[in-house]
Amino acid sequence: MTPDWTVHIVDDDAAIRDSLTFMLESSGHRVRAHPSAEHFLDQADALEHGWIVTDVRMPGKSGLELLRTLKARGMTALPVIVMTGHGDVPLAVEAMKAGAVDFLEKPFDESRLLAALQWSRESLALGDERAAEKLETARRIATLSGREMDVLEGLVAGHANKAIAFDLGISARTVEIYRANVMTKMKAASLSELVRMVIVSRS
């Protein structure tokens, strides 16, 4: 728990805002919910610290556009975690390249969100650990075969298994095997963790 930080939930779906607010407040976090990126940005200039947990696809400004606006305002010290449906993974990958610290595929459980909050806070405060993480990720990437690297690049680009298979001229089943090998060698528990690791290592 980080009592001096507020979690800002930005989502146009009231049910999701209510659910996340209840879950996070039950875990001891202070929470403010916003129905749109515009609503959040109206108050954002006064913020010194806190997390932003935003849906990547919303009416008006999207989560990606929210990230770009924050960057344009120089507000890069607010960790942003994007939430996405399965079909929006390419958008989430783009958001991470734009500065998001992590993305969560819906539905996700409480422990996954809490871990993302904790990691993102620590990553700002502990530059040496972030450097060590980059080095460890580079070491894991070095263990991948050429074809596993091809599959990894496809995953980081947000491509589905079938699209990767088409690009590489192999079967989707073969891609699944390579993907499983990549996840094992990279010690990634989920696609979002894998993408985050690689993007952070290249930043």
CATH class of 129-202: mainly alpha
* Alpha carbons 68 and 70: distance in angstroms, whole number: 5
* Alpha carbons 54 and 12: distance in angstroms, whole number: 9
Intervals of CATH 1.10.10.10 along the chain? 129-202
* Alpha carbons 43 and 118: distance in angstroms, whole number: 24
Q: How far is CA 20 from CA 58, 116, 164, in A?
A: 17, 14, 34
C-alpha triplet 159, 195, 189: angle, nearest 5°: 110
E strand or H helix at 29, and its extent?
none
Q: What is the pLDDT of residue 108?
A: 83
Q: What is the pLDDT of residues 149-195, one digit of tens each?
A: 999 999 988 898 999 999 999 999 999 999 999 999 999 988 888 88
Query: What are the tokens at 98?
Result: 């734009």
Intervals of CATH 3.40.50.2300 along the chain? 6-125
List of the chain residues with pLDDT < 50: 1-3
Residues β-bridged to residue 10: 34, 54
* Alpha carbons 196 and 96: distance in angstroms, whole number: 7
Q: What pTM value is reported for the model? A: 0.69
**Three-class SS of residue 203?**
coil
Q: What is the pLDDT of residue 1?
A: 44
For domain 6-125, the CATH superfamily is Response regulator (3.40.50.2300)
